[in-house]
Amino acid sequence: MASKVIVIGPVEGGFPAILDKVSKLHSKNSFSLAIFLGDFFGDPETSSDENDANVSALINGKITIPLPTYFTLGKHPLPGPVIEKLEKSEDELCPNLYFLGKRSTTKTSEGIRIVNLGGSLDPTITAGLSKEKYLPFHTEGDAKALRGANSADILLTSHWPSDVRKGSKIVLPDGIETPTGEQCVADLCSALRPRYHFCTSNDAFYEREPFFNPPSEKEPDAKPITRFISLASSNNATKQKALYAFSIDPTSSVPITLPPAKSNHIPASPLPKTATTIVPTNVPATTAPDTHLPALKTASSASPTPP
């Protein structure tokens, strides 16, 4: 059975207004869950009294969240009071709001499998797993460990995968440069072959053409499709899309299809043996069981969904 999901770009402390907006959208669309990418909270070093009051209200359950909602790590560490609460409550910050951690695999009650890698690559750690759960840094070891999940319906990362734009005809908005990618994120995406890969790009929205993943040994006739989508921050100056809604059926089978004859193979950077070459293509509707939802009616300055 298909479930409706809404994904929101970084709100950087502006969560009261965005949560209210999501609540109104939920009342009309009945989402199964919401996911906040990047920084849900602002930088603790520059936090204002108003931000601190909002954090306190959230932790104490004074802000209503009507559906299961998940948040991740971005570029800032979490506020001290948030860490203190999470340590005591097994990552449930308040009713219906859950921290996905830095490195995690989650299966929702609808059966949706979410794999999350939060934060930025820590160049000072060359081997092993990161020890600090709440700091916004991960290691190549963290990314490698997540490959053990084997598959994902939704992959969440703070950074783009390296070379994801190779072979794509979709351009970024004027004045926006391609965000720096991480090879370990590219390797993770290749290993998991998610249906959706979400990340953030601050001032721009970018949705690549869907691409086919080559078949695996277990499913030699199937070519799973990945949709790569990067959301802008909710307060971006150019009103780029910061919300994205779609439906997904985790029980639907992987399409058995071949890429069109004119598809080109992307010469990716050297990958481990478990990784695969990406084949980009515009995907015919008959091969894709998941669908984008109609545009949501909202007063948001950022367009919430693709057409």
SS3 83: helix
Average pLDDT of each block of 10 consecutive residues along the chain (307 residues)?
A: 95 96 97 97 94 97 96 95 95 97 95 96 82 92 95 96 91 87 95 95 91 78 87 92 96 61 36 37 38 47 37
pLDDT at 255 (0 to 100): 57
C-alpha distances in angstroms, 118 versus 39, 140, 146, 164, 191?
Answer: 10, 12, 12, 18, 17
Residue 144, number of CB atoms within 10 A of its CB: 16
pTM of the model: 0.85
Q: Which pLDDT score, from 0 to 100, does residue 220 have?
A: 74
Strand runs (DSSP E) across the chain, as ranges? 3-8, 33-36, 69-71, 92-94, 97-99, 103-107, 113-117, 120-121, 137-138, 154-157, 160-161, 181-182, 196-200, 206-207, 211-212, 225-231, 243-248, 279-280, 291-292
- Give the angle subtended at the CA of 302 by the CAs of 51 and 101, to the nearest 5°: 50
Structure tokens at 220: 């030699």
Phi, psi of 192, rounded to the nearest 5 degrees: -85, -30
Q: What is the pLDDT of residue 279?
A: 39
- 161/9 Cα distance (integer angstroms): 17
The whole-angstrom separation of Cα 236 and Cα 239 is 6
Residue 246 — φ and ψ, nearest 5°? -160, 165
Please enumerate in sequence order all residues whose Cβ is within 8 A of that of 91, keeping only pairs 6 or more positions apart, or say none: 98, 99, 100, 101
Q: What is the spatial distance between Cα 154 and Cα 107, in angstroms, rounded to a whole number?
A: 10
What pLDDT is recorded for position 292?
57
Structure tokens at 218: 């277990």
Q: How far apart are CA 307 and CA 285, in angstroms?
A: 14
pLDDT at 254: 62
- Residue labelled with tokens 């969440």: 156
- CB 227, CB 257: distance < 8 Å: no
Of residues 140, 146, 230, 152, the one with CA closest to residue 182: 140
